[in-house]
Chain A
Amino acid sequence: MKKLALYEIQIITLLLSFCSIVYELLLSSTLAVITGKPIWWQSVTIGIYIGGLGIGAFRAEKKLDQYRELFGTEMILSFLGMISVVLVYFARTGFIMSDYLTYLGSDFHSSVYVQNLFYLKGIFFLVVQSVTFLIGMYSGQEIPLLIDIYQKGKKEDKSHIILGVNYIGTLVGTVFFAFYFFPKLDVLITSLIVSGLNLSVCLYLLIRRYLVFKKHYIAFIGVIVAGIITISFNLHNIEQFYLKVTHLFRRTIHDYKLSYRDFLSDLPRMKDIERHKSLYQYIDFFDVQVKGVTVEQIMTLDTKFQYSTWNEALYHDAFAHIPLGMTDIIPDRVLVLGGGDGLLIRELLKYDQIKTIKQVELDEKIIKMHKTEKRFTDLNENALNNERVQTTIGDAFYYLRNSSEKFKAIFIDFPYPNNYNIAKLFSFEFYRFVERSLTDDGFVVIDAPVTPDEKYNPQKHRGRAVMSFSFTDSDKAYNSILLSTLHYAGFKKFYPYKVGGETFVLFRKQTLAYNYDFLDSGNDKFRKVTVQQLQAIKEQEFPYRIDRKYINSIFRPRLIDSRRF
């Protein structure tokens, strides 16, 4: 039997350690993005992977035929790597469908639902993390094996050379993944590439006759190659399957009379979800159709809802005109943070007294699309191209931190704080920067998830009751977190209000009066909001408590509970 030369072993070690770390990062990043809980999934995945490495290293005994053992290990890793991302997609899709169907059978707060959700989450966790563990375990076997092969017949202990090459490979793999694979190629393609790299090591061993050829090796290799080819030809379909279920299942399953089989068989016929990947997030656009007719078009960021053509007019009315009306302030310069869709700015441009609108938006891609594509410029009435608008691309957090400008009116249009990255923008530190950028008589309005105490309020959506509210302690805690954070950041007077299912908080530094008469009349700028809805605001109550322990700081996040990490 031939033996691998030293340089060959080193190259193989480099390749294998590269693949090994990329598998781990692949799984943890995919899970982080798909579930929207990066901290939890990244921590757990690295832990289980390292646990698997340990078990693998422990199990590695001196084998007689080390080349066959290496071949076998790499075959298994190649297979696991190939199915890893696809499995996560399918498992998540199954989870989403089961979760929603269970939810429909019971109330959101009921213990039956919570219990079922726990089991569903457990199954999802087991399915995806067993792949992580197995990949870790087989990766853990590689190093002792390679050291054995390298050491054979040598007197001196040279294992540290293999260890050294292993860690170079790990570092290279990390950099490649973070800066190239993940942002540029995305996860499905990466899994196929790395799986192929693993397979090439097997083929090399076989072709160069380092081990006895057995017929069933052809079968194994054939299975993996067939798998890689099948997946690469179906990349679009796999992604669309996941996207359509994620976005459309909840919204249209009623039209299929809750039959998931009908929904699935109709899936190919549904219009494709448009997915764009920017530097920071996934931007999806899609139509919601009833019986083939489009009733609304929705944009999501990392699968979280941003706006819908069906109700955005109402939302942006309430966002722009109520604060301007209630504070009797129409400044000549306003600051808009976020709002890359231009819809809020469209409303602000209706005021001639506003001469300059300064906008800070993180994602250049969103701005570009809403500035240049007709379907969006029709919607926002070409707001972003207006000469009164100055758009800066950047992170609002760091912009405010470094800015010394003061504004009389600040509109903050961020997504809801569903994960740590965005919760930063609802933090004590951020609001201190906001406070510094506001004139003493100015106001700020944010789109924020506060909850009013309403006894029973069925939301109607296309004629069907979707949810009923009951105000719970956790709702009160949530209000308290946001409002305490504002209070300690320096804003003593806040006014939360709710219009048509959307909630906002208007706040100022000093206890200046609000113009409540405005709520009786409105003004001519409103397109959708009715005077009744305005008057209803006066009855609204948002229970909360102010306490230091509720402060949401970037060093101790409070706004997202641990289940949302």
Chain B
Amino acid sequence: MDVSSQHFFADVWLNSTLDDATVKKITSVIDKRLTVIEKYECQFEPQGVTIVYILAESHFAMHVYPEHDYFTLDIYVCNRAVDLDDVFDEIARSLDIAHIERKNIPRGNEPKRKTGYHEKESLSTLYLITFVVAACSILYELLMAQALSAIMGNSVLRYNLTIGTYIASMGVGALLFNRFKLEDKYLGLTYVELFLCLIGGFSPLLILSFDAFLHKVAFPGVFSYHGSVIQSVSFLFNHFLILAVGFLSGLELPYLMSMGKEKSNMAEKRVLVVDYFGTLFGALLFPLVLFPILRLFDIGYFVAILNCAVAVFLMLKIDKKYLLLKCTVAIVFGMYILMKIYSDEISSYFIENLYLGV
């Protein structure tokens, strides 16, 4: 049975006098919008009222301070369907309000006993993961834009197209999140990070290899390399890569935000902010540090290693029965480290044979 519910609180200071007519306005909205079963009211001396309604949805309570033109109310409903903010907005519209303090707290979040073993993760670790994941996300995008510049030329056009495609596909990822998400957030995010590592980290090599393949397949006359057929195929493949990385990146934030929501609404919002700062950091890191120092392929390995480290960390939080997944993550992590170490040899091979050899 679903026990998720919400509890709405409001403290309201009015400009006008808080009289019976005003209180009537408030309660009439509750009458209208919610299902009232019983009403209780207690008048105090010299002034002050407490009103409690039993609702089918649970309860409504209000205390009035006529001497301060101030009242407090709370509404508890045992579902998430009713828009309590909207109910209160309707109340607020009929009043002359000086100041409001309001809060809407979700209740009844089930602990995740069924889906795996987690320790209580501290908030700061969540923020750190969000920061790293966001930075890696933008780094993949910039990496691919630069790889395409190297292979196809005209870097301003490449960057423009890559940025737009990336943002759009991130949005599609966020949009379709509900259809793709897994109940166990940690498991789901681990899968996302694993796929991102594999595609994003190898993207410069993939782009280079596919381009070389097209060169081999092309021959002048019919399927010229510069002809529209091959160029379209090249364009589609490269942008498919961008779409894939963007889509996966788009799935990340909803997972992280729901992890934050488990703690509190505030944490959920903070995850969003940390995500954007991570993006900014990645966007500065690329031109200032990574690009001047590392070879393009190496930047791919570096970002993939970071990403994989996050996956390794998440992996420790999920059930032992996903042994295959855990092994895969560990193998990928090790592979990228090896590739970084032997980067010179690997890059020379690729450049000599696939790029220059055609």
- Residue from B81, B161, B163, B347 within 8 A of A46 (CB atoms): B163
**Whole-angstrom distance between the alpha carbons of A168 and B347 in the complex?**
38
Inter-chain contact B282/A47, CB cutoff 8 Å: yes
Most buried by A among B85, B92, B283: B283
Q: B residues within 8 A CB of A51?
A: 276-277, 279-280
B58 is an interface residue with CB less than 8 A from chain A: no
Given A21-B167, A39-B287, A562-B288 in contact, is the A48-B280 Cβ separation under 8 Å?
A: yes
Residue tally, chain A, CB below 8 Å to B:
62
Range for the number of chain B residues in contact with chain A: 35 or more
**Whole-angstrom distance between the alpha carbons of A152 and B287 in the complex?**
44
**Whole-angstrom distance between the alpha carbons of A522 and B69 in the complex?**
102
A42 is an interface residue with CB less than 8 A from chain B: yes
Inter-chain contact A421/B277, CB cutoff 8 Å: no
B191 is an interface residue with CB less than 8 A from chain A: no
**Whole-angstrom distance between the alpha carbons of A401 and B225 in the complex?**
11
Query: What string of 1s and 0s marks CB contacts (under 8 Å) between A391-423 and chain B?
Result: 000010110011000000000000000001100
B138 is an interface residue with CB less than 8 A from chain A: yes
Shortest distance from the beta carbon of A290 to any chain B beta carbon, whole Å: 36
Inter-chain contact B156/A429, CB cutoff 8 Å: no
Minimum CB distance partner of B153 in chain A: A395
Query: What string of 1s and 0s marks CB contacts (under 8 Å) between B145-161 and chain A?
Result: 11001100111110111
Minimum CB distance partner of B226 in chain A: A398
Most buried by B among A152, A170, A553: A170
A449 is an interface residue with CB less than 8 A from chain B: no
Given A43-B287, A54-B272, A562-B292 in contact, is the A153-B86 Cβ separation under 8 Å?
A: yes
A163 is an interface residue with CB less than 8 A from chain B: yes
Shortest distance from the beta carbon of B258 to any chain A beta carbon, whole Å: 14
Q: B residues within 8 A CB of A57?
A: 272
Which of these binds chain A: B7-15, B37-45, B171-179? B171-179
A32 is an interface residue with CB less than 8 A from chain B: yes
**Whole-angstrom distance between the alpha carbons of A401 and B211 in the complex?**
13
A residues whose Cβ falls under 8 Å from a Cβ of B: 21, 24-25, 28-29, 32-33, 38-40, 42-44, 46-48, 50-51, 53-55, 57-58, 62, 64, 151-153, 155, 160, 163-164, 166-168, 170-171, 173-175, 177-178, 182, 280, 395, 397-398, 401-402, 420-421, 424, 429, 432-433, 553-556, 561-562, 565
Q: Which 3 A-B pairs have the closest CB atoms?
A: A174-B164, A47-B283, A54-B276
Q: A43-B286, A47-B281 are in contact. List 19 more A-B contacts (CB 8 A).
A: A32-B159, A39-B287, A42-B156, A43-B283, A44-B284, A47-B138, A50-B138, A51-B276, A54-B273, A155-B83, A160-B178, A167-B172, A170-B171, A174-B160, A175-B161, A397-B153, A553-B295, A555-B351, A565-B292
Residue contacts A-B, CB under 8 angstroms, 10 given:
A32-B159, A53-B276, A54-B276, A160-B178, A167-B168, A170-B168, A173-B164, A182-B156, A182-B160, A280-B154
